[in-house]
Amino acid sequence: MAEFTMELNDEQREVRDWLHGFAADVIRPAAAEWDEREETPWPVIQEAAKVGIYSLDFYAQQYFDPTGLGIPMAMEELFWGDAGIALSIVGTGLAAVGVLANGTEEQIGTWIPQMYGDQNDVKVAAFCSSEPDAGSDVASLRTRAVYDEAKDEWVINGTKTWATNGGIANVHVVVAVVDPELGSKGHASFIVPPGTPGLSQGQKFKKHGIRASHTAEVVLDHVRVPGSCLLGGKEKLDQRLARAREKAKASGGERVKNAAMATFEASRPAVGAMAVGTARAAYEVALDYAKTREQFGRPIIDNQGVAFQLADMRTRIDAARLLVWRASWMAVNGKPFTAAEGSMSKLFASETAKKVTAQAVQILGGNGYTREYPVERMHRDSAIYTIFEGTSEIQRLVIARTLSGMPIR
């Protein structure tokens, strides 16, 4: 087990500086254009592929960093560049992790390369979990997968929503219900190969922020996939369902639901790191502006009203990073989140991003409200962090339940 430390080693610093350079030189100059276009920034993704950032190898190296700091460090630097473009670069990783976590070696070797393509023909993948009536409530999914034993195929019907890369992806990973009585334990994940009949893009959402990231509904109408597309395989699924049925009988179902919530805990610090990156970017713009903008014959940072805001902004950012790094270290070293530390990190970092970007707009005044300065875009982008991967309200609920041991509703 790696000791917890706030000091990056030489290799981590080298990676951080490399990512920061890419964010500064490639992502930031393109940010305003792709935000206005509200389209997937394919040229930027291709550049990321050429230098090795958009690849499974890169994310695997960061994921298996024994300190746990590889992923949050990478997320912070990329999202410091621009949240929308960064999400387009890292969004495929959601689907890839789903396959890595649940798939067989053959499935991993077959499908993950198809998710990324290559530097001359980049592809993206989509992870499809949320539904119109099931966002935070993962036990309420309605998309069904029914096994056709005669053909060894699964038939999937339903509608997914808020899917990053949904409909434009080469490979879709779809979470569906196979046993409704088991709640979230009755779910399974399926690969939907490219060109599969019955899968189509529904509504593409025109969003308040992260507009360079494609977000859409995915409609599954009698989609048939081979039995080999069930992640983990049929035998493993049957064994897992049998165990879940026994546990559900013993606990009345409540333990099943709590286990699903615990699974999400481990992924939330990465979203917190994204929020830290956006907050840091806005703070840096505001600090530079306050040092150069003059009113009444002196820089506005000479006024306590501005200087104290910047002090609070930096303090919150550093505190958020500490929470994210602690939770990330705990997750990679198998430390249980006995106080919902994963949710704590995501909650505080998300709320920090919203507050800090709003303060940055205020410090820039009228200029901050225009698209001539990036803090306006950063403020719009920051709103997503308190919504996706569990809203701030859900984070507070998880924390309160964990601390109290009570079924708070």
Residue partners of 305: CB distance under 8 A and separation at least 6: none
Is 42 a domain residue?
Answer: yes
User: Where in the sequence numbering do the catalytic residues fall?
Assistant: 389
152 and 100, same structural domain?
no
Total count of residues recorded for the chain: 409
Is 256 a domain residue?
Answer: no
Distance CA 336, CA 277 (A): 26
399 and 268, same structural domain?
yes
Q: Domain holding 303: CATH number?
A: 1.20.140.10
Distance CA 374, CA 364 (A): 11
Q: How many domains does the chain have?
A: 3
Contact 34, 212 (CB under 8 A): yes
Distance CA 401, CA 409 (A): 9
Q: Domain holding 182: CATH number?
A: 2.40.110.10
Residue 109: give the domain boundaries.
10-122
**Helix, strand, coil distribution of the chain in percent, nearest 5:** 60, 15, 25
343 and 396, same structural domain?
yes
Element (H, E) at 257: helix 254-265
176 and 144, same structural domain?
yes
Token pair, residue 404, equals: 């109290």
Which is it for the CA torsion 339, 345, 348, 354, positive or negative? negative
Q: Domain holding 117: CATH number?
A: 1.10.540.10
Q: What is the pLDDT of residue 250?
A: 72
pTM of the model: 0.94
Q: What is the pLDDT of residue 105?
A: 96
114 and 70, same structural domain?
yes
End-to-end C-alpha distance for the chain, whole angstroms: 37
Task: Mark which of 250, 279, 314 sits at the end of a domain.
Answer: 250
For every residue of 140-203, DSSP letters joined together read G---EEEEETTTTEEEEEEEEEEEETTTT-SEEEEEEES-GGGGGGGEEEEEE-TT-TTEEEEE
Residue 149 half-sphere exposure toward CB, CA atoms < 13 A: 0
Task: Mark which of 201, 228, 250 sits at the end of a domain.
Answer: 250
Q: What is the pLDDT of residue 258?
A: 35
Residue partners of 195: CB distance under 8 A and separation at least 6: none
Q: What is the pLDDT of residue 266?
A: 58
How would you class 242 by CB atoms within 10 Å of its CB: exposed for 0-12, middle for 13-18, buried for 19 or more?
exposed
Mean pLDDT split into 10-residue runs, the chain, 409 residues? 87 97 98 98 98 92 93 97 98 90 94 94 96 81 96 98 97 96 91 98 98 98 98 95 84 44 64 98 98 97 98 98 97 92 97 98 98 98 95 95 94
275 and 228, same structural domain?
no
Token pair, residue 105, equals: 């070696």
